[in-house]
Structure 1
Amino acid sequence: MTTNTPPSGTTPEIESLSKDQCWEMLREQVIGRLAVVDDDHPDIFPINYAVDDGSLVFRTAAGTKLYGSTNNTPVAFEIDGYNPSTEQAWSVVLRGTVLAIRAGAALAEAESLTLEPWQGGLKNHLMRILPLNLSGRRFKVTRPDIWHTPLSDARRASFE
Structure 2
Amino acid sequence: MEAITVLDADQCWNLLSESVMGRLALSADGEPEIFPINAYAHNGKILFRTGEGTKLSELAVNSRVAFETDGFTSKIGWSVVAKGHARILTGTKEIQEADQLPLKPWVPTLKMNYVEIDVTEISGRRFAFGPEPDRYPV
Q: Specify if TM > 0.5.
A: yes
Structure 1 stretches (4+) deviating beyond 4 angstroms?
A: none
SS in 1 for 2:122: strand
Q: Return the TM-score normalized by structure 1.
A: 0.76
- Rounded to whole Å, the distance in 2 between the matches of 1:101 and 1:72 is 15
Please state if 1:74 is matched with 2:64: yes
- Rounded to whole Å, the distance in 2 between the matches of 1:21 and 1:52 is 14
Match of 2:40 in 1: 50
Gaps of 5+ in 2: none
Please state if 1:36 is matched with 2:26: yes
Seq. identity, %: 41
Choose from 141, 151, 155 the match for 2:129: 141
- C-alpha displacement of 1:103: 1.2
**Contact 2:67-2:81 at 8 Å conserved across structures:** yes
RMSD, aligned α-carbons: 1.7
**Contact 2:5-2:125 at 8 Å conserved across structures:** yes
Structure with more contact order per residue of length (Cα contacts < 8 Å, sep ≥ 6) = 2
Please state if 1:97 is matched with 2:85: yes
- C-alpha displacement of 1:121: 1.8
- Rounded to whole Å, the distance in 1 between the matches of 2:131 and 2:72 is 13
Q: Return the TM-score normalized by structure 2.
A: 0.87
**Greater share of strand residues, 1 or 2?**
2
- Rounded to whole Å, the distance in 1 between the matches of 2:60 and 2:121 is 18
Gaps of 5+ in 1: 1-11, 147-160
SS in 2 for 1:113: coil
Match of 1:14 in 2: 4
